[in-house]
Chains A and B, each alone.
Chain A
Amino acid sequence: AQSVTQPDIHITVSEGASLELRCNYSYGATPYLFWYVQSPGQGLQLLLKYFSGDTLVQGIKGFEAEFKRSQSSFNLRKPSVHWSDAAEYFCAVGSGGGADGLTFGKGTHLIIQP
């Protein structure tokens, strides 16, 4: 069975500092990987996705993520965070051949300090 681990429940970062959110997955085949962001009281918005090819993927809002097969990781990064980045971030994994749903991590709550 596939699974996703986000080791950090909360992360606090100063505005303007760099950010890295960790995601480790367990999946038997080539995974389809996603990062979603959720602002309070809102639905989930797709930040970026990885299917194949270049292991460094660019997303919206200045985010990027790097797929490392050897480490089973798909960490999310941003060079300089803004106060508006404060939100809940979810990593997810899915299968490529079917559409039987995504498996989500439990989320990382990002707090931005002024």
Chain B
Amino acid sequence: DAGITQSPRHKVTETGTPVTLRCHQTENHRYMYWYRQDPGHGLRLIHYSYGVKDTDKGEVSDGYSVSRSKTEDFLLTLESATSSQTSVYFCAISIGHKNYGYTFGSGTRLTVV
């Protein structure tokens, strides 16, 4: 999607290894989000950020940490990957402090073996 890039697009990793996913935006939006998508669950919020170094937990934050040292980058880290974290991860950005609708990235498909 225009203005938001996720990397990598695909990753296979082993159980117990650390993994970092990156979300990069070019639109200078304050609010950024990490969701995971699993069959039968829709999208669930992991963490979100409302500014540099300002982050908060979402619905399914256990096992995940985030960092935002620059406006344009929001990193999601799995400290020790587990098979239950196999999922498709989406980053989203939001305009301003109102919920005017999010723009989503193309997703990262993560497989933990």
Taking a contact as CB atoms under 8 Å apart, the answer to whether B45 and A101 are in contact is: yes
Taking a contact as CB atoms under 8 Å apart, the answer to whether B101 and A43 are in contact is: no
Chain A residue nearest to B30 (CB atoms) is A99
> Which residue of A32, A43, A99, A100 contacts B90 across the interface (Cβ within 8 Å)?
A43
Interface size on B, residues (CB 8 A): 29
Tell me whether A95 is interfacial, beta carbon within 8 Å.
Answer: yes
Chain A interface mostly: loop
Point out the residues of chain A lying under 8 angstroms from B48, CB to CB: 99-101
Taking a contact as CB atoms under 8 Å apart, the answer to whether B104 and A99 are in contact is: no
Segment among B12-20, B35-43, B78-86 that sits at the interface with chain A: B35-43
Interface string of A6-35 (1 = CB under 8 A from B): 000000000000000000000000001010
Point out the residues of chain A lying under 8 angstroms from B1, CB to CB: 43
Tell me whether B22 is interfacial, beta carbon within 8 Å.
Answer: no
Taking a contact as CB atoms under 8 Å apart, the answer to whether B41 and A46 are in contact is: no
Taking a contact as CB atoms under 8 Å apart, the answer to whether A44 and B90 are in contact is: yes
Taking a contact as CB atoms under 8 Å apart, the answer to whether A106 and B40 are in contact is: yes
Closest 7 CB pairs of A and B: A94-B99, A106-B42, A101-B45, A43-B104, A104-B42, A104-B43, A32-B99
- Told that A44-B43, A101-B33, A106-B42 touch, could you supply 16 new A-B pairs with CB distance under 8 A? A32-B99, A34-B101, A42-B107, A43-B104, A45-B104, A46-B103, A49-B100, A94-B99, A95-B99, A99-B31, A99-B99, A100-B48, A101-B45, A102-B102, A104-B35, A104-B42
Interface residues of B (CB under 8 A from A): 1, 30-31, 33, 35, 40-45, 48, 50, 56, 58, 90, 94, 96-107
Interface residues of A (CB under 8 A from B): 32, 34, 36, 42-46, 49, 51, 90, 94-107
